[in-house]
Structure formats: structure tokens, C-alpha cells
Structure 1
Amino acid sequence: MQVPSEKKKAFIEWFLATHPPEQREVVWLLQYMSKRDQLLSRIHFIYEAHLTPRSIIISTEAAENRPFRFYKEHIVTTDVDKAFHDIRLNQDQELFVEFIFEDVRHSAEYAEVLEENPYLPDDYYLENTDYHAIEQFLQATSQENKRQSLRKRVNEALDQGDEKAFLKWSKLLNNHNKEHSE
């Protein structure tokens, strides 16, 4: 979903009014960005911006020791002037921007301009316990599918009056139930 430049500009203005960055250079950079429609059309507000080829992370959190970071490929700088120079010279390139401020995940203003991060791996937010739970779910689903398949074959043998097939499938179903019951 492409967010209109007017909404992006309004968000930047809201951010500067409600969460002003301490570094005046960051304020100037944001003001510069908000006044250029061509640049705004190439800016995408996302989470986990550090995973993208070219991005800025701006934080107003007190605990943050690096309130400004500019990423380009595998280079990271906290120098706002270097970021400004790159942004000014490459206005036609995609730029991903992440804001970190108090209650950012609950901000309706940020949600209005937020886009999906195309560089975020599908399993980025999963933890080891999640993988374990997924594995258990898949095993349980597989066991239930096997049980249903065996029941179906038992019923088909009954419907056809095939005693030999009935005994075979019943035995397999009973063995399966014994192995997987707890």
C-alpha cells in the first residue's frame, strides 16, 4: 500500500511537534524530507528498518545511546550530515525510515503511515519456543490425519463387507492409537 505524500508530511510534522529529537540536525533533516514530494514518494515508514538496504532510524527514547542511525548497504553511521548528503543526492532511491518513541506500537499517527517491510523475513519474530510449538502442532496434525485416514479405510472395508481389509485396517488403527495415546 502506497501512503500518500501528504500523510507522510503530516506525520513528520506531528512527530516533530510531539517528539522533537534532541539533535537539531535531525530536525532539519526531517523538515527537508517533508518539503520534497519526490523524496516523500520514495520514503517508507516501517519497523525493523535496519534490515533494508538504505534506511534511517530515529529514536527519542531516553535509553537509546544512538538516537540517529543511517544505514546504506552494510555501512552504518550516526552522522546526520552524511545521511543528508546521501538523501539529497539520491532522491530517486527508496528510503526506509523507522521512528522509535514512547508507545510507538500504539501510535495511531504512526499506524496511518506504516507500511510492511519488504525485507523482513517471514519468521523474524519467531523464537525457539515458537518453532517447538509449530513442530508439536505439525506432529499432532499429522497423527490426526493418519488416524482419520485409517478410520476411513476401516469404514470402507465394513461398507464393502471385506473382512480381511477390515482386520488389516483395524489392526493398524489400533496400533496407531496405542503409539500416540497419552
Structure 2
Amino acid sequence: MSLSPGKKRIFIKWYLENFDTDKREMVWLLEYVMKRDYLLNHIHFVFEAHLCPRSIIISNNKKEKRPFRFYKDHVVTTDVDKAFHDIRLNPEETLYVEIVFDGVRQSYEYAEVLEDNPYLPEDYYLQNEDYVLLENIIDDSTRHSKINYLKNKIDQALDLGDIESFNKWSEELNNLRESKK
């Protein structure tokens, strides 16, 4: 989904009016970007911008040791001027921006401009416990399907009067049930 430069401009203006930044250069950079539609067309607001090949993370959290980070390929800098020059010299390159502030996940304003991060792995937010839970769900589902399959085979054997098949499928069903215990 491509957002209009106007929506992005409104968000940046809202952010600058409502949050303080530690470095005045960060304000200048945002104001520079805000005034240029051709740049706004190539900017995407995302979460986890550090995973993107070219990105900026701005934080107004006072505990943050690096309130500004610019990522390009595998290089990271906290120098706002370097980011500014890269943006100015490469206006056609896509830039992913993450702005971190208190309540960002609940912010309607940020949600209005937020886009999916194409570099975010599908399982990025999963914990080890989630993988165990998913594996258990898959195992239970597979087991349940196998039980239904065996019950159908037993029913078919009964319908056909095939005692040998009935015994075979019944034994397999009993073994499957026992293995769960």
C-alpha cells in the first residue's frame, strides 16, 4: 500500500509538534524530508526498521543511548549529517523509517502511516515457547487425522465383513492411542 506524501507530512508535523528530540539535526532532517514530496514517495514508516537495507530509527526515549541511527546495507551510524547527505544524494532510494516514542504501538497517528516491513521475517515475533506450542498443535492435528483415518478403515472393514483388515486397523488404532499415553 502506497501512502500519499500528504499523510506522511501530516504525521511528521504531528511528531515534531508533540515530541522533543535530543538533536536539532534530527528536527532539520525531518523538516527537510517533510517539505519534499519526491522524498516522501520513497519513505515508508515501519516497525523493526533495523532489518531494512536503508533505514532510520529516531527515538525520543530519554533512556536510549542512540536516539538516531541510520542504517545503510550493513553500516550503522548515529551521525545525522551522514544520513542527510545520503538522502539528499540518493532521493530515489527507498528509505524505511521507524520512530520510537512512548505509546507508539497504540498511536493512531503512527498507525495511519505504518506500512508492512517487507524485510521482517514471518516468525520474527515468535518465542521458543511459541514454536513448541505450534509443534504440539501440528502433532495433535496429525494424530487426530490419523485416528479418523483408522476409524474409517475399521468401519469399511466391518461393512465388508473383512475380519483380517478389521483386526489390523484396530491394532494400529490401539497402538496409536497407547503411544499418546
**Structure 1-normalised TM-score?**
0.97
Give the drift of 1:20. Answer: 2.6
Q: Which residue of structure 2 aligns with residue 20 of structure 1?
A: 20
Gaps of 5+ in 2: none
Deviates more, 1:147-156 or 1:8-17: 147-156
What amino acid sits opposite 1:67 in the alignment? P
Q: Which residue of structure 2 aligns with residue 129 of structure 1?
A: 129
Deviates more, 1:29-38 or 1:15-24: 15-24
Give the drift of 1:153. Answer: 0.5
Q: Which residue of structure 2 aligns with residue 166 of structure 1?
A: 166
Q: Which residue of structure 1 aligns with residue 91 of structure 2?
A: 91
Maintained 8 Å contact 1:20/1:27: no
Q: Which residue of structure 1 aligns with residue 150 of structure 2?
A: 150
Counterpart Cα distance in 2 of 1:63 and 1:160 = 75
Map of 1:63-78 to 2, 5 A cutoff? Answer: 63-78=63-78
Moved over 4 A (4+): none
Deviations 1:26-85 (A, max 9, x none): 000000000000100000000000000100000001111100000000111111111000
Counterpart Cα distance in 2 of 1:98 and 1:66 = 13
Residue aligned with 2:176, SS: helix
Q: Which residue of structure 2 aligns with residue 33 of structure 1?
A: 33
Q: Which residue of structure 1 aligns with residue 4 of structure 2?
A: 4
Maintained 8 Å contact 1:143/1:180: no
Give the drift of 1:22. Answer: 2.1
Aligned length: 181
Residue aligned with 1:123, SS: coil
